[in-house]
Amino acid sequence: MTNSAQSRGNAERANKLVVERARKRFRQANGAAVTAIADLSFSVDVGEYVAIVGPTGAGKSVLLDCLLGLKRLDSGKIRIDGSPVDTFAREKKGHITRIFQEDRLLPWLSATDNAAFGLQIQGVPEQERRDRAAKWLDAVGLSGFKNALPGELSGGMRQRVNIARAFAPKPELILLDEAFSALDDVTASRLRQDFKTLAQTQETTFLIVTHSIDEAIFLANRILVFGAPAHVMAEIPVPSHAWQDRALSDQIKEQVRTLIAAGARPH
Amino acid sequence: MTAVANGNNSGCGAIVAEEAIDDDLSTAELEDISAEGSGRSIGRRIVRIVLPFLVIAALWETASFFTKPYLFPGLESVAKSFWTILTTWDLLSQGLVTWARLLVAVSISLLVGIPIGLAMGLNLDIDEFLRPIVKFIMGVPALNWVIIVIIWFSNTELRIGFVLVVLCTPVVIYCIYDGVRGVDRKLTDMVLSFGASPGQHVRLLMWPYVKASAFTAAKINVGNAVRTVIVAELVGAPLGIGKELDLAKNVFDMSTVLAWTLFLVLMALIMAHGIEFVERRTLRWRGESQRGH
């Protein structure tokens, strides 16, 4: 290995996630090509909480699909722990998990079995996965609902199971895809607080896609403002006390809003 | 149910859509009942169900007074024949033979149709290859199959079994196909995002949906098979209800014909309710999820 390659490897090891010059285009039904991701580069350090905010149609969800290996880039690279994302996803099942906007629970499984779903994919023995899932249901405040079917739970409770399912496989990277936006304000606020408390007990890296700048300020250490198609327009560091400091949080919000307005894809 | 019906315009989709309409009607009826008050409305409902049969029975009985018994035998005579069937082992065993044939044929059609429907639903190439064949088979009338199997096979059980299976399997294929195509894309994305292998994808996500479709197919096929089995048995079967009907026909014994018809309908209803009972227990989550959302 050359010196430069070695130093690059060392640099990447410090990062959990590196996205380099990523590009992704789609062909629409009418034949027209649409660019979802355009020359996107950013990195996320181990244990960091990074929020991505941007206008609708900025390719944020496409990026998450690419990070999970569900979609392939046209060009560019995504590396996790220095390995290409396909290799990482294949060799380390369940080490990246996603908290979806809608709960996406399997309606025939109990809360415990839903929370254990990632562990089942990993091939964890049944008793162990049920024990681990039950522990996570306790952690998200669903101790009394372990045998309930999703249809018997409220929206907020189902989202708690969704969160437990994402944490249970002990992932190295958790992707939040508008995780609280489908809930009412009161439930979302309570769940956000619980999520943050829970996340701080884990040695996990978080990439948080959200439309809520308040949520980004509350959860993240750093905000990446995306333009459409997906590219980083600006990186804004978020001091840990920013969500408690009204003036500072207003300043960040104003800065992000201005950038988003400038980067929106014309409709 | 709606997800299955949304799949496409295949046979099962259309049939299931009709069932969905029936579901809507029953819901409307239930709401109506709750509004009226339980005791009186249950009585009314029973009357509504029984009344058409009472009218037909009354008309039939009236006709029996003015016609010969081989045209319209009296209800008492039909009831006696029915009782004779139930209490005479030689006759009852003929009914059980037919019932066993139905059960075996519906089961085999599920075993054959489920993997084919799954493969068609999951793989476009297999879908494009098999779809014209399945459509062609569905277009062949039951009686043509009976003639074909008489030439092909000498074994009676093979003849009857083949006709039933070949008529029931396409229904299973289409129902399963619709079931697979109706699986929520978002759930598929969720399963794949956890790194599920193709086998895990089928076992953990597709199979529960496919089970629901398989119950629908089984219920439809009970009706299909009851209608077809007699046609197949009439052509040279030494055992079964078809043979008994053939004998009754030869001596113009209409009351026995009607008694066997009643037996067949009851058999179909018992099988359909049995399947529904297992379905309700197996797919409890469908009721819960409908209540939850």
Q: Is B190 part of the contact surface with chain A (CB cutoff 8 Å)?
A: yes
- Band of residue B39 on the pLDDT scale cut at 50, 70, 90: low
Preferred mutation among A108, A126, A149, A176 to probe B, highest tally of B CBs within 10 A = A108
Q: pLDDT tens across B191-213, in order? A: 998 888 889 999 999 998 889 89
**A58 inside domain:** yes
**A126 inside domain:** no
- Is-contact A181 A211, C-beta < 8 A? yes
pLDDT value at A195 more than 50:
yes
pLDDT value at B171 more than 80:
yes
The candidate with the shortest Cα–Cα distance to B85, out of B245, B274, B269, is: B245
**A59 inside domain:** yes
CB contact (8 A) between residue B194 and residue A104: no
**A11 inside domain:** yes
- Band of residue B289 on the pLDDT scale cut at 50, 70, 90: low
Listing DSSP states for A158-185 in one string gives HHHHHHHHHHTT--SEEEEESTTTTS-H
At B51, which helix (H) or strand (E)? helix B38-66
Helix residue ranges, H only, B182-253: 185-193, 198-200, 207-234, 241-250
Phi and psi of A26, rounded to 5°? -125, 155
| B285 interaction partners in chain A (CB closer than 8 Å) | 107-109, 149, 151
| B292 interaction partners in chain A (CB closer than 8 Å) | 149-153
Q: B132 Cβ partners below 8 Å, 6+ apart?
A: none
CB contact (8 A) between residue A106 and residue B283: no
Q: What is the ipTM of this complex?
A: 0.84
| B189 interaction partners in chain A (CB closer than 8 Å) | 65, 70, 104
pLDDT value at B20 more than 60:
no
Sheet holding A75-80, edge to edge: A33-45, A15-27, A75-80, A83-84
**A128 inside domain:** no
Q: Is A169 part of the contact surface with chain B (CB cutoff 8 Å)?
A: yes
Amino acid A130: pLDDT: 94
**A139 inside domain:** no
Q: A38 Cβ partners below 8 Å, 6+ apart?
A: A23, A229, A230, A231
Q: pLDDT tens across A3-62, in order? A: 444 444 444 447 889 999 999 988 877 878 888 898 899 999 999 999 999 888 778 888
Average pLDDT over residues B100-109: 94
**A88 inside domain:** yes
Parent domain of A191: 3-92+172-263
Q: pLDDT tens across B109-153, in order? A: 999 999 999 999 999 999 999 999 999 999 999 889 999 998 999
| A121 interaction partners in chain B (CB closer than 8 Å) | 191, 194-196, 200, 204
Q: Is A156 part of the contact surface with chain B (CB cutoff 8 Å)?
A: no
CB contact (8 A) between residue B292 and residue A93: no
Cα angle A243, A244, A250 (rounded to 5 degrees) comes to 60
Minimum distance, in Å, between the CA of residue B3 and any CA atom of chain A:
14
Number of domains observed in the structure of chain A: 1
pLDDT value at B290 more than 70:
no
Q: What's the CATH code of the domain at A245?
A: 3.40.50.300
CB contact (8 A) between residue A120 and residue B283: no
> Could you say which residues from 74 to 93 on chain A have a Cβ atom under 8 Å away from some Cβ of chain B?
89-90, 93
Q: pLDDT tens across A206-223, in order? A: 999 998 999 999 999 999
CB contact (8 A) between residue B195 and residue A70: no
The token pair that represents A84 in the structure block: 């290409």
Which residue in A68, A94, A150 is closest to B289 by CB distance? Answer: A150
**A114 inside domain:** no
- Band of residue B231 on the pLDDT scale cut at 50, 70, 90: confident
Average pLDDT over residues B282-287: 78
| A151 interaction partners in chain B (CB closer than 8 Å) | 285, 287-293
- Chain mean position to CA A4: 32
Q: Is A167 part of the contact surface with chain B (CB cutoff 8 Å)?
A: no
Strand partners, B273: none
At A112, which helix (H) or strand (E)? helix A111-115
> Could you say which residues from 92 to 111 on chain A have a Cβ atom under 8 Å away from some Cβ of chain B?
93-94, 97-98, 100, 102, 104, 106-109
pLDDT value at A2 more than 70:
no
